[in-house]
Amino acid sequence: MATEGDNDTHMIDVLVIGAGISGIYQLYKLAQTDLFFRAVEAGDGVGGTWYWNRYPGARFDSESYTYAYFFSKELAQEWTWTEHFAGQPEIERYLNTVVDRFDLRRHITFEVRVVSATWSESDRAWTAVLSDGSTIRSRFLVTAIGILSAPQFPNVPGLDEFEGEAYHTGLWPKHEVDFTGKRVAVIGTGSSGVQVISAIAEQVASLTVYQRTPNWCTPLNNSPITDEEQQQLAASFEDMHTQLMSSFAGFVHSFSPEDPTTLTPEQRREYWESLLAAPGFAKFLGNYMEVMTDKDFNAEFSAFLETKIRARVKDQSVADKLVPDHGYGVKRPPFETGYYEVYNLPHVSLVDMRETPIERITARGIVTSEGEREFDIIVYASGFDAITGAFDRIDITGTDGTLKDYWAEGPHTVAGAASPGFPNLFFLVGPHSSGGNVPRISERQCDFVNDVIAEGLRRGATRIEAGREAEAAWTAHVYELNQGTLGAQAALDYTYGVNTPGKTVTFRHYDGGLVGLTAKHAEIVADEYAAFDFS
């Protein structure tokens, strides 16, 4: 194991962009090799998503122990999660512990962004220009930049005019934000909005929620991990890993084996009641598969959830606005703790932006078609230029042009790991690979990418490029799986890019889950890596 230290003009073997969940694992893997490597990270600490999204209420909605690393049993034994769904501070502590435990921090340069990366055919290397003006030359470039890391503000005028405090959930400051007695607006009701709204509602003087699309929010059902559970978790470390890595999407939950057509509506409702009482993603991934694929079962489950929302919200005219008009699961559903009860508080109001859109932000507050409301704090829970957004923000130039142009009409990759025309560039979590519990997907992808690089080095190659045929086949597979699904028919969320003005509407996620990705990796290996050109 080695690392390139102070002199940034030297050629290194591998440059990793990002020190979040994937970047940390990538560094751990590189530290087992003889390669010279370095990571650059925009934040002043590690964690990626869990560094930037430190807003009140931020927490896992995958079970903590399914999100953690599995590369070290000792680490798993030393670290104990306090809750089934840990909060951001605990997650950040965990990631820092991992980095220090495995002595990875010294490989990371903090508070710099990669501005551009350009491939040189003569050098067979990438030159990365950093935001501090320095450059790093590296034979391989590995992006660990996340799929939800390019924060996006609403496209309304006046954002800079507001004289109060304004925060984006994905760029939350390290200092404490005091909401006590403040008039607060939250724009956006995705997973982040739902968490922050629930967390601050009791503290504020008034809370106005600006909602464009309501979501199907179901109880997270978080709880402390008991000593007994802790012991079970420690004892089942290997089994848990095997279970997760062979599951559909890297979660502990799996679809019900029952065929709902053989059950009565009462039996289905009874099962759904049990799902609502179960933790996290059980409502989605523990459901009947047909709820996600058949529009009638989907409508029946959605109608069941509607009764739950209406039972929790006292004012039915508010409930009318909170009940989605899309089917459950066609848009990534948030998980909540006390969310709907927030709307029963006398100081909370809901603005439906479909009826009264935001026209502009002013020095004092927010103007909709209904008039102006004044605020002390505006929270933008308005999401991200997802999946390809973080790639677009780096000027990556390969053999024939930029990655941004190459993916302009939609990404195309080999197994989400690399694209032709961009030799020696690999993506850990990126387009056409993600779609599940991110750390498990990224573990799989990271193992694969490192195997490809190792194979190239074993063959004495200095250049590894994804093949065009393999790219066409994987891209066709991604779209084929997606075609005709309830999600594709609705094409409602960031996985299609619809939340980003001007972005081509096309599917950027992957519906085959960890299972599909694993099968593809195995096929590529069995085919002796013919999907890549080694030279």
Does the protein bind ligand NAP through residue 441 (CB under 6 A)?
Answer: no
Q: In angstroms, rounded to a whole number, what is the distance separating the alpha carbons of residues 531 and 456?
A: 12
Please say whether the beta carbons of 14 and 35 come within 8 A: yes
Binding of ligand NAP by 195 (CB under 6 A) = yes
By the rule CB under 6 A, 222 interacts with ligand NAP: no
**CB 3, min distance to ligand NAP, A:** 32
Residue 385 neighbours by CB distance under 10 Å: 21
Q: Is 148 in the site for ligand NAP (CB under 6 A)?
A: yes
From 35-43, 103-111, 222-230, 375-383, span contacting ligand NAP (CB under 6 A): 375-383
HSE-CB at 101 with a 13 A cutoff on CA atoms is 19
Q: From the CB of 220, what's the least distance to ligand NAP, in Å?
A: 8
Closest to ligand NAP by CB, 192 vs 442, is 192
CA atoms within 13 A on the CB side of 509: 27
- Minimum CB distance to ligand NAP smaller for 154 or for 365: 154
Angle formed by the axes of helices 21-30 and 438-458, nearest 10°: 30
Nearer to ligand NAP, 298 or 499 (CB): 499
Q: Which of 287, 254, 291, 33 is nearest to 139 (CA)?
A: 33
Which range of residues in 188-196, 287-295, 310-318, 462-470 is near ligand NAP by CB under 6 A? 188-196
CB-based burial of residue 390 (10 Å sphere; 0-12 exposed, 13-18 middle, 19+ buried)?
A: buried
Nearer residue to ligand NAP within complex by CB, 42 or 531: 42
Contact between 218 and ligand NAP per CB under 6 A: no
Q: Check residue 394 and give left, alpha or beta (phi > 0: left; psi -120 to 50: alpha).
A: beta
Closest CA to 64 of 220, 247, 228: 220
- Cβ-proximal residues to 267 (8 Å cutoff; 6+ apart), any chain: none
Site for ligand NAP in 380-419 (CB under 6 A): 381-383
User: Which among 70-78, 129-137, 379-387, 460-468 is the span making contact with ligand NAP, rule CB under 6 A?
Assistant: 379-387
Q: Counting contacts by CB under 6 A, is residue 513 touching ligand NAP?
A: no
* Dihedral pair phi/psi, residue 460, rounded to 5°: 75, 20
In terms of CB distance, is 105 or 212 closer to ligand NAP?
212
421 binds ligand NAP per the rule CB under 6 A: no
For position 191 contacting ligand NAP by CB under 6 A, the verdict is yes
CB of 189 to ligand NAP, least distance (A): 4
Q: Show contacts with ligand NAP in window 196-215 (CB under 6 A).
A: 212-213
Q: What does the DSSP assignment read for 318-329?
A: HHHHHS-SS-TT
User: What is the nearest approach in angstroms of ligand NAP to the Cβ of residue 383?
Assistant: 3
Q: Work out whether 192 is an interface residue with ligand NAP (CB under 6 A).
A: yes
Give the nearer residue to ligand NAP in terms of CB position, either 366 or 457.
Answer: 366
Least distance between ligand NAP and beta carbon 299 (Å): 20
Binding ligand NAP (rule: CB under 6 A), the pick from 51, 60, 288, 507 is 60
Q: Report, in Å, the least distance between residue 492 CB and ligand NAP.
A: 7
Q: Which stretch binds ligand NAP (CB under 6 A): 186-194, 287-295, 421-429, 513-521?
A: 186-194
The answer to whether 117 and 43 have CB atoms below 8 angstroms apart is no
Quick one: DSSP state of residue 25? Answer: H
The tally of CA atoms less than 13 A away on the side-chain side of residue 462 is 11
- Do residues 214 and 493 make contact, with C-beta atoms less than 8 angstroms apart? no
> Which position's Cβ is nearest ligand NAP?
190
Interface segment toward ligand NAP; rule CB under 6 A; list 125-133, 189-197, 364-372, 447-455: 189-197
350 interacts with ligand NAP by CB under 6 A: no
Q: How far apart are CA 28 and CA 81, in angstroms?
A: 21
For ligand NAP, the closer of residues 352 and 465 by Cβ is 352
Is 316 exposed, middle or buried (CB count within 10 Å of its CB: 0-12, 13-18, 19+)?
exposed
Q: Does 188 bind ligand NAP (CB under 6 A)?
A: yes
In contact, 76 and 42? CB cutoff 8 Å = no
Residue 212 vs 393, nearer CB to ligand NAP: 212
Q: What residues form DSSP beta bridges with 445?
A: none
- Residues 291 and 485 sit within 8 Å (Cβ to Cβ): no
Specify the 3-state DSSP secondary structure of 303.
Answer: helix
Binding site for ligand NAP (CB under 6 A): 60-61, 148, 154-155, 169, 187-193, 195, 212-213, 332, 353, 381-383, 494, 499
